[in-house]
Amino acid sequence: MSKDKQEDYTVKKASSYGIGQFADTIALQMFTFFIFTFYFSVVGMDVNLITVVFIIWSIWNAINDPLMGALSDRTQTKLGRRKPYMIVSIIPLCVIMVLLWTPPVYSELASFIYFIIVVILFDITYTMYDLNYASLFPEMFQDLDNRAKANNIKQGFTVIGLIFAFIMPTFFIPKLDDPQYISNYSVAGLIMAIIVAIGALICIKFGVKERVEFSKDYITAPSLIDSLKYSIKNKGFRTFIIANLGYWYVIGMLPTIVPLYGTYVLNIGEGESILLGLLLGTTFISAAIFLALWRFVALKVGMKKGYMMANAVFIITLIPFLFINDRGLAFIAFFIAGIGLSGALLFGDILLAAIIDEDELKRGTRREGGFYGINALITKLSTIFVIITISLVFNSTGWKVFNPVPGTDTILGLKSLICIFPAIALGIGILSISRFPITKEGYEQIKESVKKLHSEKSDKIKG
């Protein structure tokens, strides 16, 4: 390995950066896992009002996320382009993580308005941290092999964060769908906010390293409109965001519906909430185990074929959820599902990093913020598709308003939400990524050209 490649990747460097993903994951996944169950069954909000909140949220995302990305690309400070936003965002984000679980409950209208406001504030602060954190990945780690190794560590922290997000709150909330435990949610939110703050601050202090050769790229960074135009015109990015939308739909659907699936399909009762977290924890432990396998696949067949294989495996591993009603079998099914999830976790960042490399060759400027801004919008858009799907299923099966004794149709609806709809989304992802233009051989050419371009940029800055 060359000296440049050694400096590009070390376990210490990847770990210091990766702990930021631990914080990022907890912030988002506690929201994803608990927010629907909390406002639907604990606060008692009509499922259609919840859907309206997420539609409003998605409209805001259409403005906020791309704007934040373009702004980040055009920022210039002594601390760099990305780091200042991470510093500014972390404390407000942690405060909002607590406020999410303290709505007024004296009227549905008050809860509805509060939910809209707090979700928008959450999105502003979370995007400010997440977008800039994620934008550093392709900049800090160059070359497919280094990115695959760094992403192994990064996604390892994702898995740890997911386990914390799904299991830790259940120590404080005996029954997730019981209104008498509403105050327990805010306690759990406070504990998780403290953990997020610690992880993020460690990352900011020790893990954020912006490259000197990109320090002048803000000068040539395009405007918001041009950034959007360039990104959408990029064929690789178009195919990627469609596939990524499908992936995040699944990642959003599974934790959102598991609390209700576990309670009413697997009959997990009061005082057993930790089992719900353990089920999802089993999936993500399995995902961590199989990351090395998918890294081998990525290096062997390339990003494109590897991603398609991962989605196909993921579809197959979701089939058992249509048939199981037993907790023991459920743990086996959730473990098997981790095999497909593992591949999806690994390939997303690698594919997007290759797209950014190719774009830099065309534009002469790295635009991680622009790409990750639109990608963040797509990620959030997946949530509205999740909520709309749940709303349609619940309305059609007689569960518009929470009822602790659901009928047979509702049980079937819960099973379809955890299997059939995710399988369709993953199938669309396979079809989209099959048109991804960067092949394994093409990426090798991009890698060499980018290396030369970076050397030229570095020489200009130095001299």
pLDDT above 80 (res 162)? yes
pLDDT above 90 (res 256)? no
The predicted model scores a pTM of 0.77
Q: With respect to residue 189, please indicate whether it lies within any of the assigned structural domains.
A: yes
Q: With respect to residue 4, please indicate whether it lies within any of the assigned structural domains.
A: no
Residue 206, pLDDT score: 93
Q: pLDDT for 47-71, tens place per residue?
A: 899 999 988 988 888 788 888 888 8
Residue 344, pLDDT score: 80
For range 31-57, the mean pLDDT: 90
**What span, in angstroms and rounded, lies between the C-alpha atoms of 324 and 328?**
9
- R_g (Cα) of the chain, nearest Å: 22
Q: With respect to residue 328, please indicate whether it lies within any of the assigned structural domains.
A: yes
Q: With respect to residue 282, please indicate whether it lies within any of the assigned structural domains.
A: yes
Q: Which of 17-21, 132-136, 317-321, 348-352 has the lowest mean pLDDT?
A: 348-352
Q: Whole-number mean pLDDT of the chain?
A: 88
**What span, in angstroms and rounded, lies between the C-alpha atoms of 4 and 239?**
32
pLDDT above 80 (res 459)? no
Residue 141, pLDDT score: 87
* Higher per-residue confidence, 376 vs 183: 183
Residue 1, pLDDT score: 35
Residue 328, pLDDT score: 87
Residue 7, pLDDT score: 53
Question: Residue 143: what residue type?
Answer: D
pLDDT above 60 (res 265)? yes
Are the beta carbons of 106 and 113 closer than 8 angstroms?
A: no
Q: pLDDT for 319-345, tens place per residue?
A: 999 999 888 899 999 999 999 888 888
Q: With respect to residue 3, please indicate whether it lies within any of the assigned structural domains.
A: no
Q: How many domains would you assign to the chain?
A: 1
The model's confidence at residue 2, banded by pLDDT at 50, 70 and 90, is very low
Q: pLDDT for 375-385, tens place per residue?
A: 877 777 888 89
Are the beta carbons of 220 and 365 closer than 8 angstroms?
A: yes
Q: What domain range includes position 223?
A: 10-462
Q: With respect to residue 73, please indicate whether it lies within any of the assigned structural domains.
A: yes
Q: Which of 193, 166, 190 is nearest to 27 (CA)?
A: 193
**What span, in angstroms and rounded, lies between the C-alpha atoms of 395 and 214?**
51
pLDDT above 70 (res 3)? no
Q: With respect to residue 1, please indicate whether it lies within any of the assigned structural domains.
A: no
Q: With respect to residue 5, please indicate whether it lies within any of the assigned structural domains.
A: no
pLDDT above 70 (res 149)? yes
**What span, in angstroms and rounded, lies between the C-alpha atoms of 196 and 23?**
4
**In CATH, what number is assigned to the domain containing residue 278?**
1.20.1250.20
Residue 128, pLDDT score: 93
**What span, in angstroms and rounded, lies between the C-alpha atoms of 264 and 269?**
9
